[in-house]
Amino acid sequence: MAFQTFHNGINLGGWLSQYEVPAGQPLTDASLKSHFDSFITEKDIRQIAAWGFDHIRLPVNGYLLYDETARKLNESPLASIKKCIGWCQTHHLNMILDLHDFRGNVYGAMDTPMPLLTEHPLQEHFLAAWSALSEQLKAHGNKNDSKGGIVIAFELLNEVSDASHYLWNRLYKSAVKAIREIDSTRMILVGSNCQNSVAYLNQLDLINDPAVFYNFHYYEPQVFTHQKAHFSEEMKDYDQTVTYPGDISGFRTYLKSHPEYLMKYQLTAEESTHDRKLMEKLLKNAIDFVRYSGCSLYCGEYGVIDLAPPAEAVKWIQDLLSILDANQIGHALWNYKALDFGLLDLNGDIVSEELLYFMIENNR
């Protein structure tokens, strides 16, 4: 069911998560309110549906959503979520509600276990947040939902880092249990370790629940998908235009002289060429997961930075989607608007006509 329900999607990053840059600096109550009211509107949801996407992935920052002191959800972001649900119902788009961050979560913490996985009070808040969301949304988005006929899945946490390699399995099962005490049929999405790495899917401790499915992200090789990224010291330093298919031996040489980055690029650090053959090699773990686990799998993020040559980005995405579709793995493009990967820029203008045309044709 997951592939049919969440086949061709797109992320709404930058609205209720990663809003610091789009909202403008300095952040004030007024600038944040203006951002939350205007960055995504029903017009955007209508456009996404018209382009042929069948679902959105909605990232929401836990710091924004959940008040630890009051132990409850904050009204304003919850209202935005419910408003978006209404738009999706009107325009027949399913939704994945992604908790994109939470206190105690440390991105990339693969050297030592992060606080969310080791400190009981933080885990209590995490579970309480999901219980509260389950109460608020239990009347919306289940399989037999009569209020718009859409499906809403809960994604427990974005891009987990678990240095222990087993604590995330424990916490995610507790979260599923907390949701199931309130909502017995909700679809729930669980990500793999090491920032949703495809190489860590085999570390997931699978649960006997037909409404639970699993998630990875795919941006390999990042020297192509994140080339010249301003938010990456090594990509700014390397500063090379990379094509697809193409030669990445120069980055392999760069990593040998910058070993501090080897862990981050472990999947492709020894590769000299990237092409469909390498993509198939790296995705073998995903294909084996689908083949042998009996569980549904989903690629919650993929994309190419807007600094890459547009024609090369289209070729990379075309190969990726053909592999995912052949193995019934649903997917969501990162990103709809801004954040360096958007189909649209911050002003709502199309970034790459070539990429948009391909996505529309692929969605037919």
The per-residue pLDDT for range 307-356, each reduced to its tens digit, is 999 999 999 999 999 999 999 999 999 999 999 999 999 999 999 999 99
Residue that wins the pLDDT comparison between 133 and 145: 133
Query: Do the beta carbons of residue 240 and residue 299 sit within 8 Å?
Result: no
**Which pLDDT band, with edges at 50, 70 and 90, does 149 fall under?**
confident
**Taking the mean position of all CA atoms in its chain, how far away is CA 275?**
23
Nearest Cα to Cα of residue 88 among 32, 20, 5: 5
Lowest mean pLDDT among 25-34, 35-44, 150-159, 162-171: 25-34
Q: ω into residue 245 within 30 of 0, thus cis?
A: yes
- In a domain? residue 319: yes
**Which pLDDT band, with edges at 50, 70 and 90, does 31 fall under?**
very high
Q: What is the mean pLDDT of residues 278-302?
A: 97
What pLDDT is stored for residue 235 in this prediction?
A: 98
Q: What is the mean pLDDT of residues 55-71?
A: 97
What's 16's DSSP letter?
B
Lowest mean pLDDT among 46-50, 98-102, 122-126, 146-150: 146-150
- In a domain? residue 350: yes
Burial profile 242-274: b = 16 or more Cβ within 10 angstroms, e = fewer: bbbbbebeebbebbeeeeebeebbebbbebeeb
138 has pLDDT over 90: yes
219 has pLDDT over 90: yes
1 has pLDDT over 90: no
Query: Do the beta carbons of residue 252 and residue 271 sit within 8 Å?
Result: yes
Please count the structural domains in the chain.
Answer: 1
119 has pLDDT over 60: yes
Distance CA 280, CA 222 (A): 16
What pLDDT is stored for residue 25 in this prediction?
A: 86
Distance CA 40, CA 59 (A): 12
What pLDDT is stored for residue 141 in this prediction?
A: 85
- In a domain? residue 242: no
Q: What is the mean pLDDT of residues 271-289?
A: 98
**Which pLDDT band, with edges at 50, 70 and 90, does 295 fall under?**
very high
Q: What is the mean pLDDT of residues 197-207?
A: 97
What pLDDT is stored for residue 147 in this prediction?
A: 52
> Using CB atoms within 10 A of its CB, is residue 203 exposed (0-12), middle (13-18) or buried (19+)?
middle
Q: What is the mean pLDDT of the chain?
A: 96
What pLDDT is stored for residue 188 in this prediction?
A: 98
- In a domain? residue 163: yes
**Which pLDDT band, with edges at 50, 70 and 90, does 206 fall under?**
very high
What pLDDT is stored for residue 156 in this prediction?
A: 98
- In a domain? residue 241: no
Domain holding 333: CATH number? 3.20.20.80
DSSP string, 291-355: HHH---EEEEEE---TTS-HHHHHHHHHHHHHHHHHTT-EEEES-SBSTTS-SB-TTS-BS-HHH
146 has pLDDT over 80: no
252 has pLDDT over 90: yes
Distance CA 73, CA 75 (A): 6
- In a domain? residue 233: no
- In a domain? residue 347: yes
Q: What is the mean pLDDT of residues 204-229?
A: 97
Map residue 53 onto helix, strand or coil: coil
pLDDT in tens, 158-180: 999 999 999 999 999 999 999 99
**Which pLDDT band, with edges at 50, 70 and 90, does 143 fall under?**
low
DSSP string, 169-238: HHHHHHHHHHHHTT-SS-EEEEEPHHHH-GGGGGG----S-TTEEEEEEE--SHHHHTTT-TT-HHHHHH
Residues above pLDDT 70, as percent of the chain? 98
What pLDDT is stored for residue 345 in this prediction?
A: 98
- In a domain? residue 239: no
User: Pairing mode, if any, of strands 8-11 and 330-333?
Assistant: parallel
Distance CA 91, CA 79 (A): 19
Distance CA 199, CA 266 (A): 10
| Active site members | 159, 301
Which domain, by its residues, includes 301? 2-228+279-362
